[in-house]
A and B are shown apart, each in its own frame.
Chain A
């Protein structure tokens, strides 16, 4: 059936709401008591790396205050495993993440509706929509306020690039830079958007001044925000958390996380339309190595949410329409930077559809 805008939006948003209800009130995310009260939440999220993730935390607290003041009634809204009588904080988390998921869904629909950007049948578009929402909420057994919103920013950047970079290149780069700034205030995984943007820039323009300049601008916005936050936000107690499973890849529970990374990596490869797209997925992972290394070194891999941002982009990369792009990643991987006349060979080899 045709993938029309309004029905797809209605279905996507409804599915987001239903799956969130399942995750928060059919199940209870098991991870710790921090999600059940504001004090417990602050005792963790005001410290360590978490203290720099300001944006969603402010939204969460604002929403929590508003709920308490205005409409809160805890009737029918209490998950069994909550030890507290007071439930508004949990509900605030639920509303915030559901709202972010609805926004993410809207962007997914808009992405899928883009003309010529992806090679997808209408049926595949619906399957994609369901798949992305199901995956996001299935990883929500570790609840934080900034995960789902970070997916929204990531896909919004993807959408802006695909939709507007042909019409007004510098304006698009300007918007994306602003979004990188905002989303770094939310979660440092915004760096993954730079990996994605640089692949798209290369595929579009090859190694050109424009590509290098744009990537540097994006990197600068990220770096300034990242460093600025660490300069401005200071934890007087300088608390650092250590988790017994963090960094221990072969801990029983982390093996399940590793398997999750593996099969969902295979999924994006499995559905990809061409070898070029598979290579783009590999290069994307390669450019995301700093994030991947941090996850493996400091993260608990059982928290499968850590792979979701990589997965979401990979799913869309797997269906990119190669005919839209002038440059091919295929030859990029074969180039030996140690030969003479590297620049000339590079430009010659990387061009596939150079206009005559």
Chain B
């Protein structure tokens, strides 16, 4: 059946709502990094690297303030809240609403991306399956609840969309739009660097090692650096508190091995579904340019938190299907 934009957006939005409800109220997270209150959130996420992720944290706290006047605390509580004593219903709902909202935005961008003319070589049937797999995979990883993951996927895919949609028509404006999005999304999560990786791959494919490509990627990198360094300069941590996670940095602990396997099978899906060899090259190069992120995940991350692989997976899923026929200047192919 044809992949039409309005029905597809409608299906994507409903799917996001349903799967979020399942992740938050059908399942409950088994791993509670935080008790669900503003104070404990500030204790955990107000320190270490987390304190620089201001965008979604501010949204979450503002949403919680609003919900605290609306949601009945005497109503039925989720088991996870009963277990973590002192947790409030409204804070859990704040997470739920915020992440569902961004998941809806993600699904809309996925539909817009798949609907782009000539950008991807993908059948209508595959488009529906890609939409469903992307949304469900995101919610599979939500047993680690934090406010900035899903919003970071939104920014990542939006950047990709803007590049693919407008770069042919308006070089300068699109370059500045991408740079500004990278600046904003760095205030949300540093994984915005992955947007530089993926757009650089596409720029290389478009222009090869030409002045335009260097200008585009240079400006994106500059925007990232300004936001990354700037926020560390402004938000000084007097206590230098480090948040320790016993699983972090040990990829071969029994718990983390499942995470490593997850990375493996979700790396293989884009590879197996890619249109041709060139697409596989693009996926490989994307992972190569994302090495700093991957290195940080291995060094400081708990790999059982499989959410860490999702931004790489989403990018690869689209690279697997990108149209490599036209204007192909990618160095490996010439």
Query: Which residues of chain A have a CB within 8 Å of any CB of chain B?
Result: 1, 3, 11, 14-15, 17-19, 21-23, 25-31, 76, 79-81, 121-124, 126-128, 130-131, 134-135, 138-139, 141-142, 253, 256, 259-260, 262-263, 266-267, 269-273, 278, 302, 304
Contact = CB atoms under 8 A, between A and B. Distances in A.
B128 A271 contact: yes
B30 A79 contact: yes
B79 A271 contact: no
Nearest to A275: B1
B30 A81 contact: yes
Interface of B: 1, 3, 7, 11, 14-15, 17-19, 21-23, 25-32, 78-80, 83, 123-126, 128-130, 132-133, 136-137, 139-141, 143-144, 254-255, 258, 261-262, 264-265, 268-269, 271-275, 304, 306
9 closest pairs, A vs B, by CB?
A141-B26, A27-B27, A271-B125, A26-B143, A123-B273, A270-B128, A126-B272, A127-B129, A79-B30
- Binding site of B, secondary structure by majority: helix, strand, loop or mixed? helix
B14 A127 contact: no
Given A26-B31, A27-B27, A138 B132 contact: no
A138 B17 CA distance: 14
B254 A25 contact: no
Contact of B304 (A26, A121, A267, A269): A26
Contact of A263 (B14, B27, B141, B304): B14
B125 A141 contact: no
B8 to A, nearest CB: 8
Contact of A80 (B26, B32, B254, B258): B32
B137 A134 contact: yes
Contact of B15 (A123, A131, A263): A263
A28 B32 CA distance: 12
Looking at A23, A80, A121, A253, which has the most chain B CB atoms within 10 Å of its CB? A80
A271 B80 contact: no
A305 B25 CA distance: 15
A273 to B, nearest CB: 7
Given A1-B274, A30-B79, A124-B129, A304 B28 contact: no
Looking at A18, A26, A80, which has the most chain B CB atoms within 10 Å of its CB? A26
Contact of B126 (A79, A123, A266): A123
A70 to B, nearest CB: 20
Given A14-B265, A263-B18, A28 B28 contact: yes
B140 A270 contact: no
Contact of A30 (B1, B25, B136): B25
A120 B258 CA distance: 31
A134 B125 contact: no
B79 A81 contact: yes
A259 B22 CA distance: 12
A292 to B, nearest CB: 19
A124 B143 contact: no
A134 B133 contact: yes
A80 B264 contact: no
A98 B323 CA distance: 38
Contacts of B25: 30, 253
B254 A76 contact: yes
A27 B261 contact: no
A1 B306 CA distance: 25
A126 B269 contact: yes
Contacts of B274: 1, 123
Looking at A17, A126, A130, A266, which has the most chain B CB atoms within 10 Å of its CB? A130
A272 B1 contact: yes
B136 A138 contact: yes
Nearest to B268: A11
A272 B124 CA distance: 10
B14 A76 contact: no
Contact of B29 (A27, A31, A130, A270): A27
A125 to B, nearest CB: 9
Contact of B11 (A18, A134, A266): A266
A120 to B, nearest CB: 9
22 contacts: A14-B264, A18-B258, A18-B265, A22-B141, A26-B304, A27-B27, A28-B28, A30-B25, A30-B28, A81-B30, A81-B83, A123-B274, A124-B126, A130-B133, A131-B133, A138-B22, A256-B17, A263-B14, A270-B3, A270-B128, A271-B125, A271-B129
Contacts of B141: 22
A259 B18 contact: yes
Contact of B22 (A122, A123, A304): A304
Contacts of B22: 138-139, 141, 256, 304
A81 to B, nearest CB: 5
B273 A127 contact: yes
Contacts of A79: 30
Looking at A139, A256, A260, A269, which has the most chain B CB atoms within 10 Å of its CB? A256
